[in-house]
Amino acid sequence: MTLLLPRGYVGSATLEIKRSVFRAEIARVDDEDAARTVVAVARKTHADARHHCSAFVLDVDGAQPVERSSDDGEPAGTGGMPILAALHGSGLVDVVCVVTRWFGGVKLGAGPLARAYGDAAGAALAQAPRVERVLRPRWRVHVSYADVGRLVDDLTTRGVTVDPEYGADATLLLAADPGLDVLELVASLTQGSAVVEPAGTVAVESSVPYPA
């Protein structure tokens, strides 16, 4: 199971510890450039802050995730690594978190500082919605234009994801939960007249409760 933030989601949380303010911002990203852009925007938006520590985790098909973290001038290991640990604890991938700190005049020490960064990141993550990305078998169905409207309605009401394509005939790309027999369903709805063929797999995202 792959957990992500909903596409386009941006969340935040703010903590104050001994007059220092820690603002965590999280976002879904597709690559390193996008993650670094989120950090750059936070740095520009909060230019009056002293530190912008960050971390991100990116999913890679067939390989270990790409992970990066930055302490941005804080003592080594007190900023980026606690944020990265919070991302690990959330189970999310394709996610970036940047925690901006406004220094309040009281030094926290390495341990409390690391906890503050981790807690700020954790607070933003705790309130964020999740989606689950899974691979589903996909089918290509060829039907007549006369039947396409009714068939799309019937399939959709049964929980099948339908993407129409139009050419010489109407072609529907279908994806459904593994427990649903798409071949049998289409045969039943079209009295066996539709031509169905495998069309690989497709990634489908659906909301999940948190914690999952």
The domains located in the chain, with CATH, are: 2-128 (3.30.230.30), 132-208 (3.30.70.240)
Tokens of 154: 């019937």
Q: Round to whole Å and give the CA distance between 185 and 112.
A: 59
Mean pLDDT, 10 residues at a time, over the chain (212 residues)? 90 95 97 97 96 97 92 96 97 97 92 97 95 87 83 88 79 83 88 86 79 54
Q: Round to whole Å and give the CA distance between 67 and 24.
A: 18
- What are the angstrom distances between the C-alpha of 34 and each of 31, 108, 122, 170, 189? 5, 32, 21, 37, 44
Q: What is the pLDDT of residue 148?
A: 83
Q: Round to whole Å and give the CA distance between 175 and 202.
A: 7
Q: What is the pLDDT of residue 161?
A: 85
* Strand stretches in the chain, DSSP E: 2-4, 10-17, 20-28, 51-58, 66-70, 95-102, 130-143, 161-166, 170-175, 195-208
Q: What is the pLDDT of residue 211?
A: 56
Q: What is the pLDDT of residue 175?
A: 86
Q: What is the pLDDT of residue 210?
A: 60
**What's the whole-model pTM score?**
0.78
The CB-side HSE value for 93 (13 A sphere, CA atoms) comes to 14
